Amino acid sequence: METPAHENLPTPAQQALDALAVNVEDQAALDTLAGSDVLVPVPDDAVDGEGADATTVALPVLEQPGGEPVVPVFTSEGEMADLLPFVSRYRLIPLGALAAQWPEGDLSLAIDGSSAHKLTLTSQGVRTLLVR
């Protein structure tokens, strides 16, 4: 069965990530990214109702090989399935809103971590580049 052509087209968020790979200071791409919704994985073992409050979200934190904690978010279900095939639930959240509530500390944000257009931002980068 063939994949419909429209499913292979990059989303505006993915196009913004591609632009940022060329120029990290591309303000139009940062604005597009901040205005885009991202998928925040919800672990399957999370208690139903946990994080159900619309004003808060439990951030999934992974340890990177160097020991740095990182929160993975994704621009599409396909990107999420590539990196976290065992996660079947997620919350759709505007990236700018997530950035506005980003916790203090050394928590990085990885967008589409397994793709060619991945972007990882430090906690300071999240707050300065994506808050809208």
Residue 17 pLDDT: 94
Residue 48 pLDDT: 55
CA nearest 54: which of 26, 92, 99?
Answer: 92
Residue 5 pLDDT: 47
Residue 75 pLDDT: 95
Residue 99 pLDDT: 92
Q: Which residues in the chain show pLDDT less than 70?
A: 1-7, 44-55, 132
Provide CATH code, domain 5-46+60-129.
3.40.1350
Residue 44 pLDDT: 65
Domain residue spans of the chain: 5-46+60-129
